[in-house]
């Protein structure tokens, strides 16, 4: 088989597969609007504040 012919065949296969960019996706199709919970959702409680705060001593297990 001729080497140039094989390269052209490979190039044709590559071009058929990757020759054009995919269709553009609109910004509206990439985002979803979700209604927030009434009242702001979860409220702060001192008993559970350790769950959301970061402490180096706790992270190190001291």
- How would residue 22 be classed by pLDDT, with cut points 50, 70 and 90? confident
pLDDT tens by residue, 52-62: 666 777 677 76
Using CB atoms within 10 Å of the CB of residue 36, give its burial: 0 to 12 exposed, 13 to 18 middle, 19+ buried.
exposed
* Per-residue confidence (pLDDT) for residue 19, from 0 to 100: 85
Q: What span, in angstroms and rounded, lies between the C-alpha atoms of 62 and 54? A: 13
- How would residue 47 be classed by pLDDT, with cut points 50, 70 and 90? confident
* Per-residue confidence (pLDDT) for residue 21, from 0 to 100: 79
| pTM, two decimal places | 0.29
């Amino acid at each position: 088989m001729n080497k140039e012919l094989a390269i052209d065949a490979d190039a044709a296969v590559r071009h058929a597969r990757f020759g054009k960019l995919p269709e553009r996706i609109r910004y509206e199709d990439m985002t979803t609007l979700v209604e927030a919970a009434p009242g702001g959702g979860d409220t702060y409680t001192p008993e559970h504040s350790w769950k959301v705060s970061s402490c180096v001593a706790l992270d190190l297990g001291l």
